[in-house]
Amino acid sequence: MLPLTLAEVAAAVGGELRGADGALTVRGVSTDTRRLRPGDLFVALRGEHFDGDEFAARALAAGAAAVLVRRETAAALGDGRPCVAVDDGVAALGALARAVRRGAGIKVVGITGSAGKTSTKDILAALLRPVARVVATHGNLNNEVGLPLTLLEVERSTEVAVVEMAMRGQGQIRALAAIAEPDVAVITNVAPVHLELVGGIEDVAAAKAEILEGLGPGTAVVPGDEPLLEGHLRRHAGRIVTFGTPQSDVHLVESEVRGSGTHVLVDSFGRRGAVDFNFGGEHYLRDAQAALAAFLELGYRLDEARPGAAAVTFSELRGEIVALRGGGLLLDDSYNANPAATRAALDHLVALAAGRPAIALLGDMRELGPEAPAYHRAVGEYAARAGVQVVAAGELARHYLCGAPHEVWFATVEELIAALPGALASGSAVLVKASRALAFERVAAAVKEAYPPAANAGEAGTRQAGRPETMRGVD
């Protein structure tokens, strides 16, 4: 974090400094006393099941330079206890992050979308690391707490911050964009997600387009084939760059699988260059086009993307490929699910199967509103047309069943886990995917227990096509 005096902290968050020397400098922020370092500022947050103010005294005893707490807590701490008194800890955290962002003189890329935002963030961060000092969102720390904590990692040497923005209702992306103030805003796509919270697909587009409100004259990077964004883009005063279609500003002219990666020819604003990515999958490559567009808009050249493209590391539980003994493989995409992402994962499964039986262990896709059964049915039919056997678990998941051969449904995740390994044929290519609420990583773990990972990728047989034992990808 940029060094700040307690007086500067109080000014940034609109708080009252008590019991401390305003000239005292803090160089780190912690919201968890278990991870607090001596000299940190402890920021107390209140959630549904916790109240950080209750740990203020413990934080001071552990060496915190000061604590940022609600005004009533500050009064209870008494005189002489260093603190910054505020009305709300979460709002103060965001205000402090915005102050750091403004004082750092960095470029910020904000990424949102219905699917693919995490993998796009991972790819862009990898592209940037060989050419710039980068801070990027860890895992899925993409909400009103995670995004500020990411920006607070910025130091004087940082040149670019890449932040992911999640949406669970109207106004959330707007609030996050107001903190991050992005120079480049990426919208990966618009798909039916969180419909119970926002309404229809047009409302999803409007929620994602809120990122443009914090962009000012900056660049919007958007899909070249998303008409739902057109009205919102007409109100954007800055530059618009498209990706993903042959007519887009940044697109792939051709691609060729080479071992565990993909060699691509990229057209960027009429200029062409080759890049080798260390991953495969059509949906990953679409995310890569969004990342490349943002990379170029930051002022870097296409040839400068090559070292990073060969060293992409993806977040956990998002398309991890594990070679299993007996010639099978596991595609662990268990972190979350929506209709668009599940169809993309099914495509990836089919591509990886290469002659193996393809089996999808699918759970509920949540927050789809009254049309949820129809969305599940459409995904089930998509799987059937692709020749993928569906093994489903969950009340909504029963709607995946469409009369295709060998379909199986379990009422609960626990029943599915208990049925393994009998539900899988040895040597199968297996996809695991469901909404986060089902904690479907338990199913992935059960698959690994039933069919242990191969000692090396070669044990998966020649159909593994040279892929390493483990590779991560897809949001």
Residue 464 clears pLDDT 70, i.e. is over it: no
What confidence tens digit (pLDDT) does each residue in 107-131 have?
Answer: 999 999 999 999 999 999 999 999 9
pLDDT of the residue at 470: 30
Q: What is the largest CA-CA distance in the chain?
A: 73
Element (H, E) at 60: helix 56-61
Q: What is the dihedral of CA 340, 250, 163, 212, to 10 degrees?
A: -90
List the chain domain ranges.
Answer: 4-93, 105-309, 320-471
Rounded Cα gap, residues 69 and 130, in angstroms: 39
What confidence tens digit (pLDDT) does each residue in 408-434 have?
Answer: 999 999 999 999 988 898 899 999 999
Q: Sort 350 into a burial class: Cβ within 10 Å, 0-12 / 13-18 / 19+.
A: middle
What average pLDDT is seen over the chain?
A: 92
Rounded Cα gap, residues 65 and 177, in angstroms: 29
pLDDT of the residue at 463: 29
**Domains 105-309 and 320-471 agree in fold:** no
What's the whole-number mean pLDDT along residues 335-339?
93
Q: Give this prediction's pTM.
A: 0.89
Rounded Cα gap, residues 290 and 401, in angstroms: 34
What's the whole-number mean pLDDT along residues 167-185?
95
Q: What is the dihedral of CA 388, 196, 335, 220, to 10 degrees?
A: 100
User: Could you report how far apart the first and last alpha carbons of the chain are, in Å?
Assistant: 28
CATH T-level assignment (fold) for domain 105-309: UDP-N-acetylmuramoyl-L-alanine:D-glutamate ligase (3.40.1190)
CATH superfamily of 320-471: Mur ligase, C-terminal domain (3.90.190.20)
CATH class of 4-93: alpha beta
What confidence tens digit (pLDDT) does each residue in 181-202 have?
Answer: 999 999 999 998 888 888 899 9
Q: How confident is the model at residue 459 (pLDDT cuts 50, 70, 90)?
A: very low
Q: Which residues contact 65 (CB under 8 A, 6 or more apart)?
A: 6, 20, 24, 26, 39, 40, 41, 82
